[in-house]
Amino acid sequence: MTEKKLMKGNEAFGLAAILGGARYYFGYPITPQNEVTEYMSRELPKVGGAFLQAESELAAINMAYGASASGGRVFISSSSPGIALMQEGLSGLASIEAPVVVLNVMRGGPGIGNIQPGQADYFQATRGGGNGDYHLLVFAPASIQEAIDMIMEGFNIADQYRNPVLILADGMLGQMMEPVQLPTGEGVYSLEAMLKTKPWALSGHEGKRERNAIKSVYLKQDLLEQHVETLWKKYEQAEKELVDWEETNLEKAQVVFVAFGTTSRMVKEAMAELKNMGLETGLIRPKTLWPFPYKAFDNLWEGTKQVISCELSKGQLVQDVALGVAGRKPVHLIQRTGGMLLTPEEIIEKTIQIIEGGE
Amino acid sequence: MKPVFEVTRGMRDQETHYCPGCTHGVAHRLIMEVLDEKDKLGETIGVCPVGCSILAHQYMDVDMIEAAHGRAPAVATGIKRVHPQRWVFTYQGDGDLASIGMGEIVHAAHRGEKFCTFFINNAIYGMTGGQMAPTTLIGQKATTAIHGRDPKLTGSPIGMAEMLSTLEGAVYVERVALNSPAHIRKAKKAITKAFEIQHQGLGFAFVELLSICPINWGLPPREAIKWMEDNMIPVYPLKCFRSPEGVK
């Protein structure tokens, strides 16, 4: 059963989390994602969940750490500078192998930056962000519907891998409205059922089992190495099982664009116009940023002469594109940053310049 | 023959990593004794700090988790939201609680979180090797204050119990010391009361336990106890700052 609705991105993200079974949310105000926090404060208590406005993002992620380690299904959200503050906890969550779904509604940076949409947290999201050897499982929605699907499924993936899942959205997706289809009902959640699937969680041993000690410190170097190797087995499995992308018109494309999230929508508009102008273009749209779909680039044919990364950052995605292309084609970059969006017109103009060798 | 003293059931049979003379062992034992007497070992969840007691879970026979430096009160807040019926406590040192974790402890107290915090104040950073803490006494030497703490540069010792007792949510705030049998018995009473307050859902309960760090103070344990009595207790008076009526 589904119901169709017109929803604002940020509210839809919150609803998706509740439908996905999240019953614990810890937030701190930051634009452009405040509607998520407000929505959770209003809606979570109605389904018996707990909402708490933390004193900082640092506290919020550590509350999430405690709640997740206790077997709860936890959702948290923030925007770029707030996500930066949460890196300590994300590294910790990956270390103790506790699941959580984190939403980053990205804005312009560095520093305080501004509140317009951006994609410049790509490195932070895909390269670690916090200290030590770990990965987040990173999903990049291009529409509100896709964000809903990714958030809901994200809870299962986080539980399955016992690792934080990051949904990398941006201020555009958060602030706009789109029609969406939602499953009806409130999502199934029972702490007792959760705890049965999470025997490692803190719950009180009741004298019936050994006490659970959830550790992040391994003072002996061989034990820490062993722990990281255990984490790495999961990441190798994630690379096989989770990697996902959409590809469009690769078989005919002279030029292949690579873009994720909001930017991929601008690229699709530019592609339609370029086709009218007689140029066949294609698109690789990564849906997972980590693991990254490097193997998508094996599908390029000999007629593709240029690969162009389109992004709202000074060239971060392009580094993974270059790794995927592996020297087989020239790789170019079309970008804006600081909260500026790429327009289809700008993409068309710069693509023509690249083809004509003007760049 | 009837034994007059036994190992507490709540303490696991482990070799200690604490230094000779350290009072962490006393504090651990008191908390576990109280939980054992209340038959709550199986229904309690503890949070270990960063510092010497990050390995407290090796000794305490309750479900426990290690928190990042200073964040134990935030972690406990999350745990208590999921398990409101369980007893939850944080065990934190003075570098952890009064320095890097000042924000988390103040706001947990301010919200009136229904868990207990046991605050080990030994006026120095232990695990990292004797650096100055916010609780270090004026003139007390530390590896980052080699001529002694100078209040003109680094302020005066922070009274955490005094500060937290100004917050409405911190319904029970008491400072005790682990220097003598009489004071240790008082400390146990305070720990019992803190859990009782949590059990009744009255608000945040905070017990500060003045402790010693013989190694980093550079004193043998007996002299360290004497140093605490002569120097710390005058700066950190032992008293109940705040308590709800009728709770024992």
A233 and A259 part of one domain = no
Q: What is the pLDDT of residues A198-220, one digit of tens each?
A: 999 999 999 999 999 999 999 99
Q: Amino acid identity, residue B140?
A: Q
Name the band, by pLDDT with cuts 50, 70 and 90, for residue A358.
low
Q: What is the pLDDT of residues A298-335, one digit of tens each?
A: 999 999 999 999 999 999 999 999 999 999 999 999 99
Cα distance between residue B104 and residue A90, in whole Å? 17
Min Cα separation B138/chain A (Å): 31
Min Cα separation A228/chain B (Å): 17
Contact state of B61 with A211 under an 8 Å Cβ cutoff:
yes
What is the Cα Rg of chain B in Å?
A: 17
A255 and A197 part of one domain = no
Phi and psi torsions of A110, nearest 5°: -85, 180
Min Cα separation A264/chain B (Å): 37
- Asked whether the predicted pLDDT for residue B106 surpasses 70, the reply is yes
**A55 vs B contacts (CB less than 8 Å):** 103-104, 107
What is the Cα Rg of chain A in Å?
A: 21
Does B45 reach chain A within 8 Å, measured CB to CB? yes
Does B104 reach chain A within 8 Å, measured CB to CB? yes
Does A208 reach chain B within 8 Å, measured CB to CB? yes
Domain annotation covers residue A315: yes
Structural domains of chain B in order of their starting residue, each with its CATH number: 24-242 (3.40.50.970)
Beta-bridged to residue A257, according to DSSP, are A283, A308
Q: What are the start-end ranges of the H helices in B151-229?
A: 151-154, 160-164, 181-199, 214-217, 221-227
- Asked whether the predicted pLDDT for residue A186 surpasses 80, the reply is no
A166 and A259 part of one domain = no
- Kindly state the tokens that stand for B175: 């400072």
pLDDT of residue A74: 98
Q: Classify the complex by whether its ipTM is higher than 0.95, answering yes or no.
A: yes
Q: Which of A241, A270, A301 is the last residue of a domain?
A: A241
A167 and A291 part of one domain = no
Report DSSP state, residue B98: I
A152, A110, A167: which is closest to A2 by C-alpha? A152
Query: Which residue is it, tokens 């990281």?
Result: A228
Q: Which of A191, A211, A241 is the last residue of a domain?
A: A241
pLDDT of residue B118: 98
A275 and A348 part of one domain = yes
A25 and A51 part of one domain = yes
**Residue B100: closest CA among chain A residues belongs to which residue?**
A58
Q: Amino acid identity, residue A346?
A: E
Cα distance between residue A36 and residue A20, in whole Å? 15
Q: How many domains does one find in chain A?
A: 2
A41 and A154 part of one domain = yes
**Residue B90: closest CA among chain A residues belongs to which residue?**
A66
**B80 vs A contacts (CB less than 8 Å):** 66
A70 and A148 part of one domain = yes
Domain annotation covers residue A206: no
pLDDT of residue A359: 46
Domain annotation covers residue A214: no
Q: What is the pLDDT of residues B185-221, one digit of tens each?
A: 999 999 999 999 999 999 999 999 999 999 999 999 9
Phi and psi torsions of A289, nearest 5°: -95, -30
Spell out where A126-250 has E strands: 137-139, 164-170, 177-183, 213-214, 245-248
A250 and A237 part of one domain = no
Min Cα separation A210/chain B (Å): 8
Cα distance between residue A113 and residue B156, in whole Å? 37
Q: Which of A241, A266, A292 is the last residue of a domain?
A: A241
Domain annotation covers residue A223: no
Name the band, by pLDDT with cuts 50, 70 and 90, for residue A80.
very high
Spell out where chain B has E strands: 44-48, 63-66, 87-93, 116-121, 170-177, 204-210, 240-242
pLDDT of residue A102: 98
| CATH for A250 | 3.40.50.920
Q: What is the pLDDT of residues B25-40, one digit of tens each?
A: 999 999 999 999 999 9
Domain annotation covers residue A166: yes
Contact state of A59 with B103 under an 8 Å Cβ cutoff:
yes
pLDDT of residue A1: 55
- Kindly state the tokens that stand for B26: 């006393």
**A58 vs B contacts (CB less than 8 Å):** 71, 74, 103-104
Bridging pattern class, strands A306-311 and A255-258: parallel
| CATH for A164 | 3.40.50.970
A87 and A142 part of one domain = yes
**A50 vs B contacts (CB less than 8 Å):** 81-82
Cα distance between residue B237 and residue B239, in whole Å? 6
Beta-bridged to residue A105, according to DSSP, are A169
Of B45, B54, B74, the CB nearest to A204: B45
**Residue A208: closest CA among chain B residues belongs to which residue?**
B42
**Residue A88: closest CA among chain B residues belongs to which residue?**
B68
A46 and A140 part of one domain = yes
pLDDT of residue B248: 79
Q: Which of residues 51 through 90 in chain B touch A, CB cutoff 8 A?
A: 54-55, 57-58, 60-68, 71, 74-83, 86
- Kindly state the tokens that stand for B31: 């908390």
Q: What is the pLDDT of residues B30-88, one digit of tens each?
A: 999 999 999 999 999 999 999 999 999 999 999 999 999 999 999 999 999 999 999 99
Of B12, B71, B86, the CB nearest to A62: B71
The pLDDT of A118-135, averaged and rounded, is 96
What domain range includes position A304? 245-355
Domain annotation covers residue A185: yes
